[in-house]
Amino acid sequence: MTPENEMNEELRQLLDSLEEHGKNVRRQKQLGDLIDRLAEEEKPVVIPRKRAKLVPIWWAMGAAAAILLLILLLKPNGNENTLHNDILAEVPETVDYIIDSVKIENENTIIEEAVVHKELLAENTTVVQKTQIKKKNGKAEVVETVEEQPVIAEIIPVQPSDSMVIETNTIISENEKSSDVQQPHRRVIRSLNLVCYECQKEPDNFQYQAVNVQPEKTLFGQPQDPNMKDGALAWQVKLN
Amino acid sequence: MTTEEFKRDILRLQPKLQRIAEHIVGDPDSAADAVQEAVITLWEQRSSLQSQDLEKLAPTVVKRRSIDMLRRQHPTVPVDAENLMLTEMPSDDSEERYQLARKLVDKLPKRQRDTILMKYENGLSIEEIGEATGMSSTHVYATLSRAYKALREAIKQYKEEIS
């Protein structure tokens, strides 16, 4: 290599280093712009995400709390049904017919329930027991009234469509007689005003006799009551 | 790592990263693209990075992006990625050569110095230099020719000083 060529080569390297440095400066500027652009693109993305996370949650929580509060305020007294059921559970042991009626005057203040217990005790007298349960501000008040309604004409009892007949199973203790067991049935028959119209005799002249409806022993030899049928005493009315 | 810290460290590492990418890819422009892809990857992970981590991680990411680019450019040529990843960084005296070149250029008259720097460092064309300086293209060529001649003399004088 001649000295002139050698000098040209060194000059070329010098100029290349200048050019390379200039390119690196421009690349650094491009990288700086790229980082700035990445940072700018990231900014508008981050802020809405934060809002999108927070705002709907608070709105949903507030709406849910408001709805819950509204339901609690407008909801009728929840004890009403429980009390009503308790009364129904106690009544069947003492009465023959139950007539229920529920009157709601005001959902928020007074709930009046009227339960009419009609018990037919004698042929000419009907005792009506009315039980009213007034509920005011969550406190239940029971008001019972008993009325006697003498019956002049023949009573044809009509079972209300919404009523129910309660039959109780009677367990005979050792001290009781069979007549004691039959007493409720007799009373019922009296209340039905069962009278012998041919002889015009009083119901006391009737006798009740148990009827054998099944053998005294089962097929397997176990003793059983021959007068019991379907869990009730089978009997018949006989004129004295 | 904040945006400012990331930008500062990346710009400081840029010449080194460019050299690594060029060594693998061979083409300066493709190497610059590989460096940009690596910077985007590092940007997405910057929240979990420290400065010292970036200094270690950036060359590795640049190597991987350069190998990916090499595979895209030559899909039918097998790439020995393992050896390329283990490649030692080439020796770098570019900064020293630049400082020497700049020292010699700065001794030139102002018009010749500006013309040389605009052409080589800023990458302007003859027409752009003429527009920037108000000279005609012929005048720009003549100025560059005089600058080359002065630089040769400067190099010759510098070598004599060293020896």
Option in B39, B148, B151 nearest A31 (CB): B39
d(CA A143, CA A131): 6
- Say what percent of chain A tops pLDDT 90: 3
Q: Do B143 and B116 contact (CB within 8 A), yes or no?
A: no
Contact between B120 and A26 using a beta-carbon 8 Å cutoff: no
* Domain boundaries of chain B, sorted by first residue: 3-85, 94-162
Contact between B97 and A30 using a beta-carbon 8 Å cutoff: no
Q: Is A73 on the interface with B (CB under 8 A)?
A: no
Option in A10, A22, A24 nearest B14 (CB): A24
pLDDT band at residue B46 under the 50/70/90 scheme:
confident
Angle at A74 between CA A70 and CA A78, to 5 degrees: 120
Contact between B123 and A28 using a beta-carbon 8 Å cutoff: no
pLDDT band at residue B160 under the 50/70/90 scheme:
confident
Contact between B28 and A23 using a beta-carbon 8 Å cutoff: yes
Average pLDDT of every residue of chain A = 65
Report the chain B residue with the minimal C-alpha distance to residue A20: B121
As given in the structure block, the two tokens for residue B35 are 């460096």
As given in the structure block, the two tokens for residue A223 are 């003793």
Q: Of A138-152, A216-230, B60-74, which gets the smallest average pLDDT? A: A138-152
Q: Which of A37-51, A154-168, A169-183, B23-37 reaches the highest mean pLDDT?
A: B23-37
pLDDT at residue A147, rounded to an integer: 67
Contacts A32 to B, Cβ<8 Å = 7, 11
pLDDT in tens, B7-42: 888 888 888 888 888 888 888 888 888 899 999 988
Q: Domain A76-165 adopts which CATH fold?
A: Nuclear Transport Factor 2; Chain: A, (3.10.450)
> Which of A92, A224, A70, A67 minimizes the C-alpha distance to A169?
A92
CATH number 3.40.250.10 given to B94-162: no
Contact between A31 and B36 using a beta-carbon 8 Å cutoff: yes
DSSP state at residue A197: T
Option in B28, B39, B155 nearest A11 (CB): B155
Percent helix, strand, coil in chain B, to 5, is 80, 0, 20
pLDDT at residue A68, rounded to an integer: 93
Contact between B14 and A26 using a beta-carbon 8 Å cutoff: no
pLDDT at A58 over 60: yes
User: Following DSSP, what letter does each residue of A79-136 receive, concatenated?
Assistant: HHHHHHHHHHHHGGGT-SEEEEEEEES-SSSEEEEEEEEEEE-SSSEEEEEEEEEEEE
Report the chain A residue with the minimal C-alpha distance to residue B44: A38
pLDDT at residue B73, rounded to an integer: 79
Q: Which of A4-13, A142-151, B75-84, B101-110 reaches the highest mean pLDDT?
A: B101-110
Contacts A13 to B, Cβ<8 Å = 97
Compute the average pLDDT of residues A126-138.
64
37-66 in A: which are within 8 Å (CB) of B? Answer: 38-39
Q: Is A28 on the interface with B (CB under 8 A)?
A: yes
- Long-range contacts made by residues B40-48, C-beta under 8 angstroms, separation at least 24? B40/A34, B40/A38, B41/B65, B42/B6, B42/B10, B43/A35, B43/A38, B43/B6, B46/B1, B46/B3, B46/B6, B47/B1
Contacts B117 to A, Cβ<8 Å = 18
pLDDT at A77 over 90: no
pLDDT at residue A94, rounded to an integer: 43
